[in-house]
Amino acid sequence: MRMRSTRRVVALVVAVAALLWAPASPLADAADLERKIWKLLDDDQSRFVSLPEADFRALGAGFDLPDGGSTVTDLALKAPGGAFDPRDVARIDPKTLGYKADWIVERYRRYNLDWDITGLRLTSLNPDARKYPWFIIINGGAANLYEFVVDLRNRPGWAQYLAQKLNVMVVTIPGNFKYGGWEQPIQSIERQPAYLLDRDLPMEESEVRNVLYTNGLLMQGLKALIVKHTQGEILISGHSTSGELAMLANDDPDLRARLNGRFFGWGSGGPARLDRVREVKDPTSFGRGGGRSGAAPPAPRQAVPLHILARRDPNSYSRGYSGFLNPLYEPGMSHYQIAERWLEVEGRRRGNFKQQIQDLEHGGNIEEKGRIEVELQDLLKKAGNPWGVNLEDVSKDLFATHYTRLDGYKQMVWTVAHFDRNHWVPEDPSKAIELFFANEYRARNPNAQIRLLVWDLPLTHYAHVEMPRQLASAHYSVIRWFFKEAVRGPLASRSN
């Protein structure tokens, strides 16, 4: 009898010990990681905070796609160059994806010409998504929706993971998406933006449009997409060059009301007006790239006519864009070889070009305004201006990026990757341009919560294709931090 009693006690002790020492569930770990991120963001004393590599790598629990992502992946694998038709995604049963997809083409008119801007709207099936704003993702200058929907190997991308928790719209700026992609080589002059999706444009018209490509033009299309196809509050994440659009949106009365004083940055930088402020405050800095501070300025180059597109090549993408966490990396590859492979794989579905006007407006080069007006005037005169473009309308829009307001914010969070050399300087963070921007906004908004959060592992400007699931999880926690007073704590929503 005593023997049986002893056995029961031992069995009970073993069972209790097993419970105590059992590894935590993935969702419990996710809640702990969210608490760490919130603790970092609650720090109102540090100029920036960093999430360690081990914590970032552990993120991602609870972001499973119902089909594992296989359905959209299959579409991409079957399409030449991976350029699947977004309309096919919209035909998939939402229960397969975890979200309802809608493909939106919004045509609008500016400078007396029609333009198409697109949005892939992912309405989450997660009932908690309605607690949070619509998350608006806007591609950078040479990209489009594809790199947010799938990674470079066509596996599920950042936006698909986010859509398991949030309502998401992925916006492609005019010209950067084309049904079926581009067949011409990246460096071919025949490879031009698809400003209208239902027709090819004559070269003469494309060249004029390339010089009309102002942020004012982009802002009009972005606003039309948001106002017509989303409801309630919004949070805009403009990647890279499109970071300007988030700042411009805050100046628009209708969008400002829906942003409600919030800013979310992912490799976004700040408005061009602050570049010139930085030059005065820190004469050793120049340009937008924090990693270039203190170096000798580059030698002047002969100006390239503005109607000619800047085209991506391995040299440019091997500097700060290509890292060893890139999905295409294989042991022994150099940064150049990674970039080379990247442009080869993405040669069809991704535009890989950029209008010079974008860089001029984003780079604070307001002294180029006269040159832009003269070149545009000459192009219109040469073509006979059959479109009726009014130069005065364009002149009024040029360099709107120099006049965005810095005040009126309640919460701002910039997130940046450790090796995003154009935004962060890991060797000397005090030289990072993202830190300069955050400090300037702190000065204008002394009562706001303004944070800078670094993902402290070898990620680059393109972390959304390097570790999309973990980045989605990290950004979801950041977004929940904006609303933490309204949610029940880190455990809330994680089990959905």
Q: Provide the residue ranges of all domains of the chain, joining segments of one domain with +.
A: 21-307+356-482
**pLDDT tens digits for 241-295?**
999 999 999 999 999 999 999 999 999 999 999 999 999 999 887 544 554 333 3
Q: CA-CA distance, 63 to 61, in Å (whole number)? A: 6
Does pLDDT of 65 surpass 60?
A: yes
Q: How crowded is the C-beta side of 418, counted as CA atoms within 13 Å?
A: 15
Scan for tokens 């295409």, then name that residue.
328
Structure tokens at 476: 């979801």
> Which tokens belong to 462?
């393109």
Question: For 119-154, how does the pLDDT look when each residue is reduced to its tens digit (9 = 90+)?
Answer: 999 999 999 999 999 999 999 989 999 999 999 999
pLDDT score of 2 = 44
How far apart CA 347 and CA 362 sit, in angstroms, is 25
- The angle formed by the CA atoms of residues 402, 404 and 407, to the nearest 5 degrees, is 135
Multiple choice CATH, 21-307+356-482, 3.20.20.80, 3.50.50.60, 3.40.50.1820, 3.40.720.10:
3.40.50.1820
Identify the pLDDT of residue 320: 79
The alpha carbon of residue 484 and the mean position of all alpha carbons in its chain are separated, in whole angstroms, by 23
pLDDT at 490 (0 to 100): 59
- Residue 175: phi and psi, rounded to 5, are 95, -20
| Confidence category of residue 28, pLDDT binned at 50, 70, 90 | confident
Helix (H, G, I), strand (E, B) or coil at 346: coil
Q: Is pLDDT above 80 for 301?
A: no
pTM of the predicted model as reported, rounded to 2 decimal places: 0.92
Determine the pLDDT at residue 7.
43
Q: Is 15 a residue whose pLDDT tops 80?
A: no
For the chain, what is the radius of gyration of the CA atoms? 24
